[in-house]
């Protein structure tokens, strides 16, 4: 299935949950927050969040801001 | 009258300078600007992370200062975007404080007042402490207060413009109309005199970024702003004289040499 991670299309093997997807992409243990389809997903819910073909995932981290 | 520290949600802020962290020539320059000015609060943001760990490195720099952080929702154009960004910020920065920005006009970066109200209502229901970036509209301020905001952050001028206080009358009116709310001038500040002027009006703090980050010597400019904000606060508390139409001698005339009672 195709997931769109931070605006980039990537191919994954289904079925897949958010925790596994983040691990595969190298985010395991990193200071990030995540939204799927525009909705925030709390860290504790990564494993129970099933991903579907075409899901858009935003992964963000601290950055400079004004 | 000595200046008391600003307190927000039982957090005592060490200064009334709120400093942004964006646009500095390097992380070291940002670090020096913070060291010199000792801001009471620093603003931060969220951006896409590509798994390189840049976010963690930046956060490690800021955490070392032990200064409260205020995440923003910069760049959001809808209430939904702003709310999701706020929720992500709360988890990453471990604070329910959020500087709520919902931009309505890309040319002036003017906040969108209607979406600002909608987003504020939803965020307050999710137990956020909303610091709304807003215009100086009194009616908008009243509605934000009705929604539960006890902090209001009107712009001085468009973000990054350095124009100072475009509408002092509106800001002064807001101060008079909301004497019990924490008022912060946010955005548009260019020179320390602008920040001091806001503080002399009775504003509780000033939030700025570009004026320091893009200065010739950001660390020195940060120190200048810290001094100006402190001076403005002390001047406000000390009772600034009202302007007069006529001159009035400051040196007593009685018994001066060659004095004549009848002129």
Which of A7, A22, A57, A63 is the best mutation test for B, with the most CBs of B within 10 A? A63
Q: How far apart, in whole angstroms, are the C-alpha atoms of residue B107 and residue B31?
A: 31
pLDDT digits (tens, 9 = 90+) for A50-64: 999 999 999 999 999
Say which CATH topology domain A2-60 has: Ubiquitin-like (UB roll) (3.10.20)
Q: Rounded to 5 degrees, what are φ and ψ at A20?
A: -65, -40
**Largest interatomic CA distance in chain B:** 85
B263 pLDDT band (50/70/90 cuts)? low
B1 pLDDT band (50/70/90 cuts)? low
Mean pLDDT of chain B: 95
B55 pLDDT band (50/70/90 cuts)? confident
Instruction: Say yes or no: B30 contacts chain A, CB-CB below 8 A.
Output: yes
Instruction: Say yes or no: B87 contacts chain A, CB-CB below 8 A.
Output: yes
A14 pLDDT band (50/70/90 cuts)? confident
B20, B54, B93 ranked by CB distance to A66: nearest? B20
Q: Rounded to 5 degrees, what are φ and ψ at A64?
A: -60, 145
Average pLDDT rounded to a whole number, residues B116-144: 98
Residue B99 annotated to the active site: yes
Interface touch B44/A38, C-beta < 8 Å: no
Interface touch B49/A59, C-beta < 8 Å: yes
> What is the pairing mode between strands A8-11 and A2-5?
antiparallel
Q: How far is A3 from chain B (nearest CA, A)?
A: 15
Which of B175, B77, B150, B159 has its CA nearest to residue B119?
B77
Share of chain B above pLDDT 70, in %: 98
Q: Give A59's contacts in chain B (Cβ within 8 Å).
A: 48-49
Average pLDDT rounded to a whole number, residues A8-33: 94
Q: Give A25's contacts in chain B (Cβ within 8 Å).
A: 51
Domain boundaries, given as residue ranges, for chain A: 2-60
pLDDT at B249: 85
pLDDT digits (tens, 9 = 90+) for B175-186: 999 999 999 999
Q: Which residues of B156-168 are buried (b: 16+ CB within 10 A; e: fewer)?
A: bbbbbbbebbeee
Among the options B38, B63, B99, B121, which is catalytic? B99
In B155-197, DSSP assigns E strands to: 182-186
B200 pLDDT band (50/70/90 cuts)? very high
């Amino acid at each position: 299935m195709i997931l769109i991670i931070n605006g980039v299309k990537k191919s994954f093997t289904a079925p897949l949950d958010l925790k596994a997807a983040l691990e595969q992409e190298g985010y395991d243990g990193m200071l990030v927050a995540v939204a799927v389809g525009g909705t925030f997903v709390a860290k504790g819910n990564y494993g129970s969040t099933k991903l579907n073909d075409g899901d858009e995932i935003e992964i963000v981290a601290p950055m400079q801001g004004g | 009258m000595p200046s008391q520290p600003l307190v927000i949600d039982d957090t005592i802020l060490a200064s009334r300078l709120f400093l942004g962290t964006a646009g500095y020539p390097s992380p070291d320059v940002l670090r020096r600007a913070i060291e010199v000015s000792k801001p009471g609060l620093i603003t931060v943001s969220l951006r896409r992370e590509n798994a390189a760990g840049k976010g963690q490195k930046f956060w490690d720099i800021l955490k070392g200062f032990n200064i409260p952080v205020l995440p923003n929702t910069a760049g959001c154009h809808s209430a939904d975007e702003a709310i999701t960004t706020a929720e992500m910020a709360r988890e990453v920065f471990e604070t329910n404080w959020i500087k709520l920005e919902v931009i309505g006009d890309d040319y002036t970066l003017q906040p969108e007042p209607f979406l600002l109200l909608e987003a504020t209502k939803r965020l307050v229901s999710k137990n956020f402490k909303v610091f709304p970036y807003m215009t100086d509209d009194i009616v908008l301020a009243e509605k934000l207060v009705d929604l539960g905001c006890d902090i209001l952050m009107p712009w001085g001028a468009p973000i990054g413009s350095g124009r100072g206080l475009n509408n002092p009358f509106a800001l002064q009116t807001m101060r008079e109309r909301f004497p019990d709310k924490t008022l912060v001038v946010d955005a548009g500040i260019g020179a320390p005199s602008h920040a001091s002027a806001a503080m002399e009006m009775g504003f509780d703090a000033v939030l700025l970024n570009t004026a320091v980050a893009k200065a010739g010597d950001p660390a020195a400019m940060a120190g200048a702003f810290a001094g100006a904000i402190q001076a403005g606060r002390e001047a406000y508390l000390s009772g600034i004289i009202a302007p007069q139409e006529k001159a009035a001698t400051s040196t007593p005339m009685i018994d001066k040499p060659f004095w004549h009672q009848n002129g």
